[in-house]
Amino acid sequence: MLAKLKDPAILKLLPVAAGLLLVVGWFSMPESNAGDVTLYNELNNLITEVRTKRAQDPKSLPQLKDELDKAADRIVKKLEKTADGDHPARQRLLWCAKTTVPQMTKVGLATEALAEKQVIAQLDQTAVLLGLKPAPPPVAVAELVTD
C-alpha cells in the first residue's frame, strides 16, 4: 500500500483530492444566521426600549422614533436582496422592518397600538425561526372552537 503512495501519478492526485474534499466540506456547512440574529436583537432592543421609555420617560419617545426609523431602514437595506423563501427568519424580519415598524411609528409611540403588537408578534416568530426561543406548543382544535 505504501509503495503505491510513492507512485508519482498518485502523488500528483493527492492535492487535487484534498482540494475536492475542502470544496465539498465548505459547501456542505450550514449557513450562519449570526447577521440575522444581530439585526433581530437591534430591532427587538429598540422595541423594548420604546415600551420602557413610554412608562418612565415619555419625552424621549420622539428621539426613539427616529432611532427606530433609522434602524428599520438599515435592516431593509441589508436584507432586501437576500430575504427569500429559503431564509424565512430573514424574510419575516425584512417584512417587519419594511412594513410593520413604519406603521407603528406613523401611529405614534405614545400608546401601545395594534401595529406595535404586530411588531412584537413578528419579532417573536422571528426569534422562533432563528432558534432563539422555543416554538409555542400546538393548540388543540377543540380549544379554538368557542360556543
Listed by start position, the domains of the chain span 34-130
Please report the pLDDT score of residue 29 as a whole number: 57
The residue among 83 and 145 whose pLDDT is bigger is 83
pLDDT at 101: 94
Q: What number is the average pLDDT over the span 12-33?
A: 74
| Rounded mean pLDDT, 16-41 | 79
> Which carries the bigger pLDDT value, residue 57 or residue 45?
45
pLDDT band at 31 (very low <50, low <70, confident <90, very high): low
Q: Which amino acid is at 93?
A: L
| Cα gap 50→46, rounded to integer Å | 6
Task: Pick the range with the lowest mean pLDDT from 17-21, 22-26, 28-32, 134-138.
Answer: 28-32
- Above 90 in pLDDT, residue 42? yes
Measured CA to CA, the distance from residue 103 to residue 2 in angstroms comes to 71
- Given pLDDT bands bounded at 50, 70 and 90, which one contains residue 146? low
CA atoms of 71 and 46, how far apart (whole Å): 9
> Given this model, what pLDDT does residue 117 score?
93
- Whether the CA torsion 130, 134, 136, 137 is positive or negative: it is positive
pTM: 0.72
C-alpha 103: how far from chain center: 20
